[in-house]
Amino acid sequence: MGSHRNRFLKLMAMFGGLLCGSQLAGATTFDIGDAERFAQLLNSDIPVSVEALQDNYLANAGVGVKSIMGSIQSAEKMHASISQAPQNYTHAVDVCLPAAKAIEVEAKTMVAKVASGTNTKPAETISIVLGANNMAATASPSGIILALETLCQQAHNLEQAKALLLEYIAHEMVHVAQYQSTKRTSFVFNLLEMSLIEGTADFISSMYLDKPSLLQQPRKTWGEHHAAQLWSAFIEQQHNKGYGTWLYAPSANEQPADMGYWMGSQIAEHYYNSAEDKMVAISTLLRMEDADALLRQSGVNAKTARINVNNVELMYEDEGIGSNVVVFDAGFGTKHSVWQHVIDLLPMNIRTIAYTRAELTATPDLAKARTVEEHLSDLRALLTALSIDEPILYVTHSYSGMIAARYAESYPDEIKGMVMVEPATFAQRKHFMQLDAEGVKKEDEMILGHMPPHLAAQYALIIEQMDDASASVKSIPAAIPTAVFSAGNPSEQPFSITETKEGRPVWLALHKQLVEGSEHQKQYIVDTDSHNIHKRNPEIIASQILKMTAQ
């Protein structure tokens, strides 16, 4: 907390030895030797000169001071820091050193609790030191170091100092757990990753504090009152290697410094709260193998709501922030949640809107069948209600491919591109009736016999529209980049005629005709027999979305 941005970059290289077999001690050592030697020097008759610092403090440094020599650098630099702000060192010795001595047992207990709660080993040492007034605390794979001259500036009395020390110890013990858990080999972190490192430490440590956090409260208050603007700015900058004013730098305006801590803690808290297995969630947060996935899966910036448009109710989930808007439309009889595995693979600077059509949001007794054109009207009304006036990337599955075809035909300027997974077409029924009319009728009877009345009515209306349509497939307008994903293999246990050995070639041919309009359109035949490519191979669909939003 409050230390230099490069503390992880310098120290995490040490974690290799830990993971290669060194054992942490079962009991934590509380070492105030360095701080006591400095206090003796400060309170003695010897002037605190460069020579006195070198001979009486740095030359016989303990583990703590040795660990932060990179920030102290030299007796000359430390002397300059003392000369510039002598009150910080006097206050540290008078207030925080007695507080440190008073909390030794509590400090060891705190380390043990956090270690147990994260299923990691407790820190070997807690070192209390004084440094060059440029860091408050840091951690190594085996220890915690607290620098009183910086840390104590935030405490005005003994009780505040005790609480502050315990809060730093809890936070830094989470960093020790992160060292133990990580499998990273590169320690160059972007803004999102570093914010998650610090925010996870804030979130987990807060579980073990008996009092409200002294450090987190200003950021929490500001964050809760300015969340929308903060998330908008943060997501835009999340992949920056420079941290700007988010971390380890003074704020450029009236907001508190280090707001990256709050952003990260919000991600960690939402991810933890939404997880069924809390210990697995803690482990995942500590490892932080994929920060983008953690951010998306946390749902921290997601809005799930119901909205009335065109006298029907739609349910939708709106996540992410950015100029790229991706709209997900599910297949017949399925809700928007079927897209979650794809959405989880997208960064948060892509805005995703997944919605459920009216026949699945209304109560069965009020649900009414709607034509493709009415479903399209509902979708456009939803986008208007959400103030989306830029062209969208439209991602569809099965039945909603018919909505997509009508959308592209009627309002091509509103579509940036389309990803169509196993799309249904208006023409398909006539082709399959020609192939096996009896089989198609039996399939209809089977499906209708197992559906609730409101869905049966919707299915019957789809059949009616297909029966009235032309047998010719209209290609998607040439100006709209389109990717169609088709299952290439017949099924050994076909559910529908499209999955049979005879029906699959017809199905593939219909899809091919959709994307014959230009070089910007392509059919991808996937080596699967599954109609639900987006569920079985979500990474394929997510990769295509990323490619098309980057254009």
pLDDT in tens, 171-187: 999 999 999 999 888 88
> Where does residue 112 rank: exposed (0-12), middle (13-18), buried (19+ CB within 10 A)?
middle
pLDDT, residue 228, reads 87
Long-range contacts of 411-414 (CB under 8 A, 24+ apart): 411/380, 412/477, 412/479, 412/480, 414/380
- Is residue 488 within 8 A of residue 526, CB to CB? The reply is yes
pLDDT tier at 222, thresholds 50, 70, 90 = very high
pLDDT tier at 250, thresholds 50, 70, 90 = confident
Percent of the chain, pLDDT > 90? 84
* Strand positions, DSSP E, 39-188: 125-129, 137-139, 143-147
Q: Average pLDDT of the chain?
A: 92
pLDDT, residue 11, reads 38
Beta strands at 325-329 and 392-397: parallel, antiparallel or unpaired: parallel
Of the candidate ranges 188-192, 360-364, 380-384, 419-423, the one whose mean pLDDT is the lowest: 360-364
* More confident position, 301 or 332: 332
Asked whether residue 327 carries a pLDDT value surpassing 80, the answer given is: yes
pLDDT in tens, 198-216: 999 999 999 999 888 888 9
What average pLDDT does range 264-283 have in this prediction?
96
State pTM to two decimals: 0.81
The pair of three-digit structure tokens given for residue 549, joined into one six-digit string: 């939003």
Asked whether residue 506 carries a pLDDT value surpassing 60, the answer given is: yes
What average pLDDT does range 428-453 have in this prediction?
93
pLDDT, residue 147, reads 97
pLDDT in tens, 40-69: 999 998 889 999 999 999 999 999 999 999
* Strand positions, DSSP E, 324-449: 325-329, 351-356, 392-397, 415-421
